[in-house]
Amino acid sequence: MCGIAGIVAFNEQTPNGFHSIRQAASCLAKRGPDSEGFFTDEHVALAHRRLSVIDTSNAATQPLTDPSGRYVIIFNGEFFNYQEHRERLKSEGVVFNSESDTEVLLQLFIRHKEKCLDFVNGFFAFCIYDKAEKTIFMARDRMGIKPLLYAIDENRLCFASEMKALLPMGIVKDLDEVSLHQYLQFNYIPEPWSIYKQVKKLQPGHYMFFNIHESENILEKKYYEIVRREQEKKYDYESAKKELRRILDDAVEKRLISDVPLGCFLSGGIDSSVITALAASKVKNLNTFSIGYKDEPFFDETHFALEVAKMHGTNHHVFKLTNDELYENLDEILDYVDEPFADSAMIPGYIVSKYTRKEVTVALSGDGADEMFAGYQKHKAEWMVRNKMLMKPAVLLLASLFPGGKGSREGAWQNKIRQLHRLAGGIKLSPAERYIRWCSVMDEKEVEVMYSRADRREYERRKKLLSNDIDGKSMNDILLSDMKLVLRGDMLRKVDMMSMANSLEVRTPFLDYHVVDFAFSLPENYKITSAMQKKILKETFKDELPELIFQRGKKGFEVPLLKWFQTHLKSRIEDLWLNDKFIKEQGMFNPGSIATLRQQLFDKPQGETEARVWALIVFQNWWLKYHSAK
């Protein structure tokens, strides 16, 4: 796991013309604390920051050049099945100078060019430069686990693992108004867009392959996409359970390859518990890690994790934190966010990564299962809307009896009221409109009251793209959309950002493409029914996990934001982030709507008040640290 950056000049440069590449690399130091390396010639400057995981020797240092000196690679990620290809290549006469997966990938590219991607099972973003042909090949993994951002102008292409590494290269910081609208709506910016018009994110399952002297022909090309195949009915239910266990077990085993200490995140939910159970069957005294809240019993779920750890004999670590300890990490977290991103679960995500990194360098997680197997509350709500027509009048009546202003995320009862009003609001919409609404923290009209500068036509174009897979025929349309919107834009971004801020590699077995392809070959009733969500996952592993795990409800990874806003952060909210004078000088938001939200926060919070304030705090901190800074 590493950080990469590069500049591709369409006109020849002197090595001094690439001076910003070293500054870009320094911005990626946390992604790769073990070493740094550079390559430059008259056309290309490449930088690599290394977190040593496979082959920790100097032989695997990057940028890595093949024995002929023609090809240079920088690689971020892991290639889990590299050993089988290494042996095959050796039988064909290839001599390797290291034990690294990077060298195997480079040799596959030399032989197969873009088809090398067909051989790779892993997560990655990489660039290969062919000095003889003056070509650049850049690719990103199938699911988008590892990021790769790029910016193109008439003179060059710049790319990096993080936005903060692009800034020293002098990219144009022209704010994308539609992206800001989307950020306020979702709390993150959907891919492939970014906060800046010039910067795009290479899409998952895509690559670029171009000649430096033909820069007008730079295009992204698709090599993989998730396809729904539930109509094939390949597996009956019992056969599907056996196949799920087999391929998931194989995915876990592949991700246990490491030359450094390894463990598992264990929240006590189904997903991380399944991964832990499979990993513990292969690793004796497996390290597992949980985070809990001393001051917030409603949010604390560590007792579930402890039951799983006991059952599988893991070496379990529990980090019980107070609100003060959570708050002490806040500025570090905010300052690492180099593009607006406001999923508050990044706070515990950062802290569990921070504590986990003290024990191991690699951790397995359960990310991706909710999106594939219908684990979110909105999936249950969507199933009800599609299959329980008679319940609609009852929901609307109930919502009228409980004013929406009484709902919030700050307690069990308040959260139920909040969810009731979201359900009632969605019932009236079409499936595509409902999907976008239930993915949103603020609806479109609420955003426009606060921020009205986005081009409406471009916003509608993007919205249609985000809901393009919704056909209403099967719940798999919702799940596929979540894989493209929520998983990529929110969940994977959060995990990558917060783990890399602590130099921790996180591996996600559920997102092995064999598991994903299998999941989207299953009919919806294998995943969700009136009685159960994630049905096939739970029933496949019911004998390998404590019964208590299956009885718990889903809460998510929440933090007590409202208490912080009304205590620790109150002065900064009033005097800086949401200050009337600053808002007017900034010229971004409607001062009246911000003033109303600020007053609501301190007088009578309701609905999603704290989430909206948090989104503004993150944006304002980003604006001051990255956007307006010289």
Q: Are 222 and 144 in contact (CB under 8 A)?
A: no
* DSSP H or E run through 585: helix 580-586
For 212-266, the DSSP string reads GGGGGG---EES------GGG----HHHHHHHHHHHHHHHHHHTT--SS-EEEE-
Q: Please report where in the chains the tokens 């008679």 appear, as a residue.
A: 390
Cβ neighbours around 285 below 10 Å, total = 8
Question: How many angstroms separate the CA atoms of 451 and 442, rounded?
Answer: 12
Closest CA to 410 of 614, 187, 559: 559
Which tokens hold the place of 213? 């002297």
Please name the residues in contact with 400: beta carbons below 8 A apart, sequence gap of 6 or more.
Answer: none
Q: Are 329 and 350 in contact (CB under 8 A)?
A: yes
> Helix, strand, or coil here: 289?
strand
Q: What would you measure as the largest C-alpha separation in the chain, in angstroms?
A: 76
Cβ neighbours around 239 below 10 Å, total = 10
For 440-459, the DSSP string reads -SS-HHHHHHH---S-HHHH
Q: Are 264 and 272 in contact (CB under 8 A)?
A: yes
DSSP annotation of 491 reads: I
Note the pLDDT of residue 241.
Answer: 98
For 374-387, the DSSP string reads T-SHHHHHHHHHHH
DSSP strands (E only) in 41-152: 44-50, 64-65, 71-79, 122-130, 135-140, 149-152
For 509-526, the DSSP string reads GGGSHHHHHHHTTS-GGG
Domain boundaries, the chain: 2-222, 230-373+484-551, 377-476, 561-627
* Number of helical H runs and strand E runs in the chain: 28, 17
Question: How many angstroms separate the CA atoms of 332 and 445, rounded?
Answer: 33
Helices 609-622/177-186 angle, 10° precision:
140
Strand partners, 149: 160, 201
Q: Are 277 and 548 in contact (CB under 8 A)?
A: no
User: Which CATH superfamily, name and number, covers 2-222?
Assistant: Aminohydrolase, N-terminal nucleophile (Ntn) domain (3.60.20.10)
Strand partners, 538: none
* DSSP H or E run through 496: helix 492-500
> Helix, strand, or coil here: 578?
coil
From residue 259, alpha-carbon distances to 6, 56, 255 in Å are: 28, 7, 12
Q: Are 478 and 382 in contact (CB under 8 A)?
A: yes
**Main-chain phi, psi angles of 196, to 5 degrees:** -110, 140
Note the pLDDT of residue 38.
Answer: 97
pTM across the whole model: 0.94
**Main-chain phi, psi angles of 118, to 5 degrees:** -65, -20
Q: Are 492 and 484 in contact (CB under 8 A)?
A: no
Please name the residues in contact with 319: beta carbons below 8 A apart, sequence gap of 6 or more.
Answer: 289, 290, 291, 292, 351, 352, 355
According to CATH, the topology of domain 230-373+484-551 is Rossmann fold (3.40.50)
Q: Please report where in the chains the tokens 């990489």 appear, as a residue.
A: 126
Note the pLDDT of residue 580.
Answer: 95
> Helix, strand, or coil here: 137?
strand
From residue 42, alpha-carbon distances to 12, 36, 166, 171 in Å are: 5, 21, 20, 20
DSSP annotation of 58 reads: G
In CATH terms, are 2-222 and 230-373+484-551 the same topology? no
Sign of CA dihedral 617, 618, 619, 623: positive
| Below-50 pLDDT ranges, the chain | 406
Instruction: Show which residues are catalytic.
Output: 2
Q: Output Rg (C-alpha) for the chain, integer angstroms.
A: 24
Note the pLDDT of residue 477.
Answer: 97
Please name the residues in contact with 405: beta carbons below 8 A apart, sequence gap of 6 or more.
Answer: 604, 606, 607
